[in-house]
Chains A and B, each alone.
Chain A
Amino acid sequence: MKTENQKAWFFVLPVLILVAFNALVPLMTVVNYSVQETFGNNQFFWEGLGWFEQILRSERFHASLGRQFFFTFMILIIEVPLGIAIALAMPRRGFWVPVCLVLMALPMLIPWNVVGSMWNIFTLPRIGLLGYFLNDVLGIHYDMTQQPVAAWITIIVMDVWHWTSLVVLLCYAGLVSIPDAYYQAAKIDGASNWKVFRYIQLPKMKTVLTIAILLRFMDSFNIYTEPFVLTGGGPGNSTTLLSIDLVKIALGQFDLGPAAAMSLIYFAITLFVSWLFYTLMTKDDQE
């Protein structure tokens, strides 16, 4: 006989309240703003889906969304292979393991605005070490306050420096969990290094790699502090990513309605891409 006990739900209640206050309520507030217009004085007028239409048709939005996708694509395509390569090169046992792990974790421990300031100063011509070296020693004109390309290179390199470690550490965790017997069996089977990677290491890393890519996608897609401190979205609008644009509209221009509509669209895109990626990556296992 099956007894049904619904008391367990009471234990979930505190979490529900917590989630309600830190996610649902703010989100609903944003939904509320996104369908209204205000001229201050706490007076609101119904606007319907007008803001959404406006945002989706706005060229400014298309441009920053494009930049956002470009940024995320670039850092993923660099950080993932690089992270795997570093994880493969790290020692599996012995004295150097903790040393490598600490060195790897260091960049991630630095606050985001500090990372932005560091790279800002580092690459400034004349003042920064890298800037001085490139401009005055090598004679390459490199100034991210004037050149969009330099600005882009700097924010991508900065993100790679800051976050490749995450991919490395997750992949490394996947690698060390592979029992020695797998490598021994592969040796006996006469497998080449490439086959060991392709058929043993990569499949075993798949789960952690999925998580790593998902985290890197979400973080980089929502990135704000570092590029804001580093370039402020400039020169011009060349590095104005979606989040920077959003803050400009919401706080700079105080257009609550469009900003709210934009946030929701932004949120929907992040959610959709994450869902799509996760479903595609895990579909294989369920077959």
Chain B
Amino acid sequence: MAKITLSKLRHSYVPDPQPDDYALKEIDHVWDDGGAYALLGPSGCGKSTLLNIISGLLQPSEGRILFDETDVTDLPPAKRNIAQVFQFPVIYDTMSVYDNLAFPLRNRGRPEDVVKARVTAIAEMLEVTSMLKTRAAHLTPDNKQKISMGRGLVREDVNVVMFDEPLTVIDPHLKWKLRSKLKELHQRVRATMIYVTHDQTEALTFADQVVVMDLGVIVQIGTPVDLFERPAHTFVGHFIGSPGMNVLPAELRDGGAFFVGRPVPLEGRIVKTGTLAQIGVRPEYVSLADQGLEAVVTKVADLGRHILVETRAGDTKVAAIIQGDAPAKGETVHLDFRRDQTRLYLDGWLATEAETRE
């Protein structure tokens, strides 16, 4: 187990890269020992690249990787003591489940009694003890994926276990089961775990800390609550939440923000400058009021516990999640934004400061 430090990491898949060619555009980050992290972002944001660099399958173009204080940048995967679980379960078809789990240990020349003890313990943890003698080829996809995880966890000295979208091929009803299994495993083995996914539910349920990436940079690092409550970038607001945050074009005048000609009260003072101004407010904090911003209802969807109302204010779509009676389609309503959840973004980045309540 180890703390993992990424220092000034950059990677490009083409030789002689221009600034735009970098799949990773300078990453500085420390993964604390024993943490459960999720690396969240859309396809092509560089999250798999980052993962492969940590595991050693890829050499970064620039920058260093340290496990504790040891520089491992030039070490091959086998020497780094890491484990990785891939999108599609990787199992050795011709071997039994037992031999599959024993494989990483036997390759490292561990004596057979140590192998037996470890495999038995891991099999019990993963609840696959009854399958140990069957051939791995005959397992269901979720069990195969369990075996893949088991091969990572079986070594007692792993620094970090990495998951690269491990639930992609798993049936929906088994997904949450495996997910909670993973969470439980993390609590038992206490290894650092990094979970790569583009699925926010997976990321938010698994991780203590979520790292959101977009276009090769880390956009925000925080707890699931942080990401939901205070997105540091409009991308995070948009990407996390369902539906995502309303991002409304704004005008800056007299030190305040205006949307379709009306002043919008913000959570606090504007602390940055920039050219492109946008107001961000989550649908959860938009409510219907007796007066205020006028909007026309374009769509109403009953989601069970609450109602999703889509409206149009000026030329901009504004979504609201409300309780109680739904307005009719085509009706004109007034919208109210909760002030402490209404923020200004300049050039995409958060530009307001929350007022300290005293």
Contacts and interface: CB of A to CB of B under 8 A. Distances in A.
A181 interface: yes
Interface string A147-164: 000000000000000000
A181 B88 contact: yes
Contacts of A188: 55, 77-78, 82-84, 104, 152
Given A200-B92, A203-B93, A185 B84 contact: yes
A182 interface: yes
Given A191-B103, A199-B94, A287-B135, A184 B57 contact: yes
B108 interface: yes
A189 interface: yes
- Say what secondary structure dominates the interface of chain A: helix
A184 B84 contact: yes
A179 interface: yes
A200 B135 CA distance: 15
Scoring A179, A187, A188 by chain B CB atoms within 10 A of each residue's CB, the highest score goes to A188
B354 interface: no
Scoring A189, A195, A199 by chain B CB atoms within 10 A of each residue's CB, the highest score goes to A189
A209 to B, nearest CB: 14
A192 B104 CA distance: 11
B61 interface: no
A190 B107 contact: yes
Question: In the complex, which range does the number of interface residues on chain A fall in?
Answer: 10 to 19
Given A181-B86, A187-B76, A188-B78, A199 B107 contact: no
Given A199-B94, A199-B95, A203-B93, A187 B88 contact: no
B151 interface: yes
B95 to A, nearest CB: 7
A188 B108 CA distance: 11
Given A181-B86, A195-B107, A187 B57 contact: yes
B225 interface: no
Given A184-B57, A188-B55, 17 more contacts: A179-B90, A181-B86, A181-B90, A184-B77, A185-B86, A185-B90, A187-B57, A187-B76, A188-B82, A189-B78, A189-B151, A190-B107, A191-B107, A199-B95, A203-B92, A203-B94, A285-B137
Interface of A: 179, 181-182, 184-185, 187-192, 195, 199-200, 203-204, 285, 287
23 contacts: A179-B88, A181-B86, A181-B87, A181-B90, A182-B90, A184-B55, A184-B84, A187-B76, A187-B78, A188-B78, A188-B84, A188-B152, A189-B78, A189-B104, A189-B107, A189-B151, A190-B78, A190-B104, A190-B108, A195-B107, A199-B103, A203-B92, A203-B93
